[in-house]
Structure 1
Amino acid sequence: MKSFTAWMEQHFVPVAAKIGSQKHLVAIRDAFIAIMPVTMAGAVATLLNVFFRDLPTEWGWDSFVSSDIVQGIIGVNGNVWWGTLAIISLVFVFALGYYIAKAYKAPALAGGVIAVAAFIAVTPQAITVVSEAGEEIGAWGHINYAYLNSSGLFTALIIGLLSSIVYSKLINKNITIKLPDSVPPAVSKAFTAIIPGLLAIYLCAIIAYLVNLGTGKAIGDLILEYIQQPFLSLSQGFGAVIIVIIAVQLFWFFGIHGTNVLAPVLDGVYLTATNANNAAYIAGTAVSELPYIWTRGSFDAYVWMGGAGCTIAFIIAIFIFSKKEESRAIAKLSAPMGAFNINEPVMFGMPIVLNPVYFIPWMIVPIILTIIAYAATALGIVPPVFTPVPWVMPPVIYAFLATGGSIAVVIWGVFVLIGNKVDLNDTIEE
């Protein structure tokens, strides 16, 4: 075990550290974190409509749902969803442009604005509607929200990176309009961004025009078809999910925040799946027929309860089985934060990090949880996660809300915590 740990520290940890600090990946991670208030507002709207509309309708409470007050609540929630998850790609591309520009030490606000402009420039401006008589009518000056919701996230990612990197590099090369020092800083920064912003937006617009000219399709449609959908399809494979779990556990064992390192994958791919499930649910798709089995929230709902490694079960097991005063003291300090999925105190306090005693259960338990949860979701025993929920929501409650109030996941959560307490008993006594 010592030789394995030494080899990993020499070869694995430096690579992981470089990945975790790579500025473009950090910007992508920070952009997803930055849009969390918008994502959470949309999630709350979805959850409220689950409890005010969907569940009462399922239970036959039609008079409750049809009341004016409840209809007003449902309508307001719909408006909130429309302003949040329905345009999540538009919000994300601004945040990405901002953080990329910041990474290059260019004016960040302008970077975000330019990324939004470039994203809209590549988005189709015409739609086709069908009249009551069945006649197809073309209309210009309209944007189909399907390009702005989760379906457009990969387009937003690619165009946001391209436009903001071009803009930032031109700024760094001083290809700008320079004004006298007497000009107010806000005005000077705005003029500094004119030429780089113009060139970045035009570059994206020209690429989109040429792609459309050559293929007859919008660039966003091609990205969705040939990049986003294949990535999402690959992410749903059991092997892909297990690889993510193993990688996160390994990173954490060596003291590196695994979920942060893999945030571009977890958020870029699996969060997209969450939002796609949410959009399908809002459109009326039954929970059992949602397009994606495994989403970003599935990790937190079914595997990472209390943080990576299901450490809340470890803390509970210490309270029940351990007679070591030092372990119980650390568990008492870690429990309040562990209840909200913050596991650094127990990770570095026990420690689990670089502790060979805990390596096998640390790696094996999440894999077992994933196998059971993936199979249960695929078989329809528990529903797929379709609502974004704040990661600090306590275990079991998180799963209950993320699945729209499923009682099955509550039973699942209790089963997991009890099972893990028993499995960890021998390790704790050691």
Structure 2
Amino acid sequence: MFFNEEFETLPREAIEALQLKRLKSMVARVQQNVPFYKESLAKAGVNADSIKSLADLARLPFTYKQDMRDSYPYRLFAVPMEDIVRIHASSGTTGKPTVVGYTQKDIDTWSELMARSFVAAGVHKGDIIHNSYGYGLFTGGLGAHYGAERLGASVIPMSGGNTKKQIMIMQDFGSTVLTCTPSYSLYMAEAAKEEGIDFRDLKLKVGIFGAEPWSEAMRLDIEEKLNLSAVDIYGLSEIMGPGVAIECCEAKKGLHVWEDHFIPEIINPETGEVLPEGQKGELVITTITKEGIPLIRYRTRDITSITYEPCICGRTHARIARMSGRSDDMLIIRGVNVFPSQIEAILMGVEGVEPHYVLIVDRKDNLDTLEVQVEVGENIFSDEIKHLQAISTKIEKQIKEMLGVTCRVRLVEPKSITRSEGKAKRVIDNRNKA
């Protein structure tokens, strides 16, 4: 049930006492060893000695992704390079990547937290973990790999791509756990169906999916098509990689954040104000045990809420809600805020529509336009035009009623939307192209 019961079930008072102690120690280290933090803390008028309670966290400055890019590659590191045993970098598509370094202790901590995460998801020592997260500079593959080995499970380091071979390996090797992005798992299901393979004939029982927002409706679709229990995992390279938080298999109601290593906050993304428990806002994380590149109040841009209510699984760590999107992925269409995951949830509730879609945003006559392209199943695509038009109209009406956005829905033929073996590209915004 637990990988490390002592720390996973600490009383709230003990968690907060540990957090305060580790926070003060971390602030003292970065103030001494990282010029960026020495300057930003001085500007804020805060040092380790002035932190008397966790409430003082709000006095500390934020750290932004741009700060990491400006410090490229190593200027945010808090230890000499001779102590860094691993370097990863974000998969950013624009500009310089964000670079993170790990000491051996950081790697050990990461392995421990991923092992905790696997057990929380319902994985055991005897499992065979088919790891389809990408290996390399991306943290997903190696993060899951080390956690699996720490747990003592068997791990198959598949990485992404070569989907037919992936399915063959899962069949032949008796894989019981699948790790990948949720969109890639559905691509696997589609590819298996083309090969005449039924996932019910495989031994998979648990899928651990992350690296992109996904809806509850998509979870149900994945569970049906892959015949497994689908669990949401959260992490980001700047903070550690996968394993910062995960759902427990008992409840699947929020992701437990490992609070003995991270302090989560929810803030108003516009004002920076800390929001109370239960309110939705931007997730901010402070690392309190990292040696290589500790971060103070890192702005993740991920939108969620937090609860400290006890969980039926017995873990006492705070839970964050499933990510509804990123503040920088949020679309503003004629003044209305829309997240791709909100549209996905509507699409997944329409019979005959497949979980493959793309949102195309444009500007015509100085007005924003939104086109939703979504695939339909083989049996639907061959229907009369009148039936297809009825489906399009139904989706347009639901999006208007639920989100307040007028859009055009275009049903496209099966397999016409590009598949991804990593993070799915859901939005094409043409408004800034001129």
TM-score range, shorter chain: under 0.3
- Please report the TM-score for the alignment, with normalisation by the length of structure 2: 0.26
Query: Greater CA radius of gyration, 1 or 2?
Result: 1
Give the TM-score, by structure 1 length.
0.27
